[in-house]
Structure 1
Amino acid sequence: MSKKILAILSEYGYWGVELVGPLEKLEAAGYTVEFMTPKGKKAQALPPSYDTTYVDPPLGTCVTTPEAAEKVKAFEATNRLEQRRNLSEEVPERPYFSTPNFLRAFEQYFADLKVAQEKLTEEYAGLLLVGGSGPIIDMVNNQRVHDLILGFYKKNQPIGAICYGVAPLVFARDFNERISIIKGKHVTGHCIEYDYHDGTGFLNTDLNMGPPPYCLEYILADAVGPEGQFHGNFGKETSVIVDYPFITARSLQCSFEFGDQFVNVLDKGVKRYGW
């Protein structure tokens, strides 16, 4: 089995410890983590994720610990994110239905996609979707991200997602069946109690959209359906759920436990955890 993991990061800001936490655990277990961004631009940690004075509005407390801040700053100083893959160059874009000679273009898209999915799933043992506010812009409703997820899903390979990195799982669907791949599954993610009223900010843009454009709890709960379950675990310090092949984590406080369970899934064959 490959000892490499592919991490997808937003170009509009990722939450530092949501990468550094699982990265630390995966590397300690002998895995190499490589990076990919939607258009090949360098990902950067969101400033609040290494600011120990930042007070999270819904929680009313400083959520960035000194330990996490130092680890994030140390990682950013390594320039490891200078080496990254460009998703837009490796996974094809689905054509518009108004494209001339659409059927032939659509057939070519599926042929090219199969090759891309096969290449990436052979190279990597699992997929890591890192959270933060940035994914709202360039990961959640990104068809290429969905197709990448589907590649790992079809191969029954682990898919780990934390915070707003969980949201793309809702929209990853076979094009013809159009059913979310998390239907019937147990997942966690940002519960409504964690949602901002204002201040959802991003790097590389002046946009402040106020609250998030959707309630993650609601879209996850709807996607899993009556046979599945969304676990908010509000009031509990952490919330990490394994329902293979998915490893989902609620927010930054879960980063290290999330990493531990990702390793347990890879190395010990864990199929269920947290519910």
Structure 2
Amino acid sequence: MNPLQRSLIEKLGHDHGFEHVLPGAPHTVALASARHGARADVSLLSGAEGLFMIVEAATPALLPEMRRTFPNLSFAAGFAASSEAELAALLRRAASLARALPSQAARDFESEVSRRLSELPKGLGDTEVERLVRQRVGQQKFRSAMLDYWGGACAVTGLAMPELLRASHAKPWAECSTDAERLDVFNGFLLVANLDALFDGFLVSFDDAGVMLVSPRLSVDIQNRLGLRQGMALRWLSDQHRRYLAWHRERLHAIAGRSGMRAD
């Protein structure tokens, strides 16, 4: 690896979520970040044009998500990029996932809550104030993690306008038993506003294949007016989503009754 190649990789890392370069082997560029715990080791492909990236992360969910996103670039040991653009996409996705997946979001949450509570005037740090601070910060962190995980696009429609998107919990904030559940990026979906309202109100859910389920409380006319159509489904679904969806579907059934539910 010559100095020009090394500089190019370092710049790609800096521009796409890995702003630090760590000491490493002479033929590898080791990239890291202060914003998340992932590390990317980039080297030249032996005997071929391109680059090879090995990702190390604290969360076991990161690599499966990377392999799902880039099946054509995935190999047993890492990811092969044939161009700078492909390496940039790999780095960007690895950084986004590292920020979004447990438990980085939970660590960021606790740090931000502590900072905000320390800034309160003396006498205001009671239990109710702390609860409100934790809820506000948590909802902000959850939305940020959702935007990272879903690439800034609706989990169903693919609409990529953040101002129209909502971070919707499957198991509601108030009913989660821990902050880890509340901040778990798999406990919900990034949805366009009308789907968020329906999902939040237990009027739609998703089966274990990601296909939308519609409550019998929504007539065909209402579905048409809302833009719901047959075959609507999540763009992808992980195993970690399924336990929260099971909870969400049970609540939908409890509200709507167990008869007449259908997939549309």
TM-score (structure 1 length as normaliser)? 0.26
Higher relative contact order (Cα pairs below 8 Å, separated by 6+ residues):
1
TM-score (structure 2 length as normaliser)? 0.27
Which is greater in Rg? 2
Higher helix share: 2
